Every structure is written in C-alpha cells, then in structure tokens.
Amino acid sequence: MRLFGLPRRARQGPEAVAQRAHVEPRERRNSNTEGDDGMQLGMIGLGRMGANIVRRIVRDGHTAVGYSRHEEQIKEFVDELGDSFQGATDYKTFVAQLEQPRIVWVMIPAGATGAVIDEVAELLDPGDIIIDGGNSRYHEDIKRAKALQPKGIHYLDIGTSGGVWGLERGYCLMIGGEADTVSHIEPLLKSIAPGVDAAPRTPGRTGEPSAAEQGYLHCGPAGAGHFVKMVHNGIEYGAMAAYAEGLNILHKANIGLDQNGLHSAEETPLDNPEWYQYDINVPEVTEVWRRGSVVASWLLDLTASALHADPELSTFGGRVSDSGEGRWTIDAAIDEGVPAPVLSAALFARFSSRGESLYADKMLSAMRKAFGGHNELPGKQ
C-alpha cells in the first residue's frame, strides 16, 4: 500500500457513517462561511478533465484525493498541489484517505466506468457518494442508482462540458440524482462551474442568480444529467456540421475560375461560371462573423483560431470520430417520435468522413456504368 501526501484529518468511525446514510445538505454541516477549509473530493481518473477539475477545486480552497495507476502522475500532483492533494495507486488506499461521507468522482472513458464503480462501491459505506462525470449512457445511470440504493450509497450522474478549456473557463455541469445529494456537494459544484460572470445575464432575470446561471443545474432524477449532456453533444454535432458545410461553400466559391466555360460530360456544368469567381478569405470571414453576427459563438471562436493557424487545414485528415452521444441522441428522438433531421444528418456525415460510404459510392458508379456506360475509374476525381 502506497500513500502519497499527508492525511488532513483522522477518518471518522463506522458509527458516524451509519448515522448519515441520508446525506444532509452542506449548509447544515460545516461550511466555508463558518471557518471550514472546504470539502474533499476523491477523483478517479486524472486525465485532462479530471486533473483540471482537481486543480479548480484546490485553488478554490477544497482538497482532493486522486487515484491513478501511474505512481509518477500521483507524485507530480503532490508536488504541484502540496498538502491539498493526496494520492493512491490502488482503490483501497484511495478510499482510506477519504473523509466520511466520501465523495468519489469517476472521470474515465465510458466503457470502463461500470466496472470501476462496481469495484469501488464494495469499499464504500452507507452515506457515501459516487459521481459519474463522464459520458455514460443515461440508461446505465438508472441501473446503477437502483443497484447502489440498497447499500445506502448515493449516485449522481454529472454531464460535464468544457473540455481542455475548463481549467480557466470552468465546466458546465448537468446533474442527475437526488436533490439532497446535489445540495450536499454544492460547494464543489460552485468551484467547478464557470460562475455567473461567464455569460451576460438573460434580460428579465433579476434577484439572486439561479444555479443554472452559475453554470450547474440539477436536471432531475438518476440519468437526467447524462440525458441533457447527450442532447448537448447531439446539438454540438449539428452546429459543427453547419459551420463546416457553410465554410466549405465559401471555400469553393472560386470554382468558376477553373471552368472557363469548359466542363466534362460526366459533370453538371455551372449555369454561369461568373457567379462563382470569388476567392473568399475564409479565415477572415470567421473573424468578421465573430463580431456582432447572429452566428457568433465560442465554437466559431475555436474555428477562427484553427483557420488562422492553418488556413487550408492541411494538418487534418478529415476523418471525424463520434463518441456515442450523437447516436444515443438519435435513438432518443426515435423513441420519442421527435424529428431530428439536422442532428441525424450530422451524425451520418461523420460516418461518411471515415469511409463508411465508400462501398455505397462505388455501387452508385457501378449502376451508372451499367445503365449509361459511365466509366468512373478508381482514383478519378
């Protein structure tokens, strides 16, 4: 058993844990305003997002215990964060370093989350909390919450958006689970979220800012957080596709310069090449759109940055992955009977980018040759 960092307090006994099988809101216990030095969070998964969540809470006065299989990574965090961080390379030691009731945040790829939660849950006590902050399917959240309930372990699913920018910008948090459990961890949520100043206040909203205005929202019971995050990612697919398609139309606006009235019999000619003789500076278009246009957004900001660094996008292969949430969004739309043509088209475009339409495209060429003698040879553009 390897210990990294110094324990802050002695652990509480099992009697105290049993008395708190029901998690009380944080304000009924110690709070920052009463001189407490913050809450403690256990983080399993110190990748980009998990690591930056730990950094955000530590710099806001909380402490953290981290789990990683890599001893060197734990040592790096101890060196960086000092007494505010402890670490372990096995789950038993990790759990032993956590104060009760323990708060364990799992931030690993969705495929491995279930097995990790099952293993860690065996080491926890009634009143402890497990958070899945990754991108699990909401169906799994419903099953996990039911499985943990007889053990007195509370489960939250937190859809987390912010990516590599979250350390400075904060993370948008979409939460599913029991209201009392959410209230208990609210000081941590406030430290992780962007805060009310991250966006101008919506006209008509007055008084104390709501949790949503601060960047976190209790969306409903188990699974609701990941359901909202799932749809968020589906919308992300659609928005990205819209920018990509629109900018590609601008990129090709000089096609008339190449035709000069000539065209192949295999291609539909332009009605008038003069209509498409614009050498549009696409990077500069994204810059002007960022300033006052209806389509201005953070996503457009990132697009402009990418185009400034590489105007022809020569460092990208054009193969676009999908991590699952887009598919699940379409599944939900089908179950609900809700039309989602834009989101589904954006998902299918990602499939095409990976060559999944190549066989179908060849089949189209084969049929055209069969009925019309059109010979579209391999490699012909």
Handedness of CA 163, 167, 173, 175 (dihedral sign): positive
**What are the helix (H) ranges across 207-252?**
211-214, 224-251
Q: Which of 229, 266, 284, 325 is catalytic?
A: 229
CA distances from 67 to 3, 127, 226, 230 (A): 11, 21, 23, 27
Residue 229 is a catalytic residue? yes
Q: Which burial class, exposed, middle or buried, applies to 157 when counting CB atoms under 10 A from its CB (0-12, 13-18, 19+)?
A: buried
Q: Which of 160, 92, 152 is CA-nearest to residue 132?
A: 160
Q: Which of 76, 99, 236, 287 is catalytic?
A: 236
The strand pair at 103-106 and 85-88 is best described as unpaired
Report the alpha-carbon distance of residue 112 to residue 273 in Å, rounded: 55
- Letter string b/e over residues 36-73, b meaning 16 or more CB atoms within 10 A of that residue's CB: eebbbbbbbbbeebbbbbbbbbbeeebbbbbbbeeeeb
Report the alpha-carbon distance of residue 78 to residue 245 in Å, rounded: 46
Pull the structure tokens for residue 135: 């991108």
The strand pair at 63-67 and 85-88 is best described as parallel
CB 137 within 8 A of CB 226: yes
Catalogue the active-site residues: 229, 236
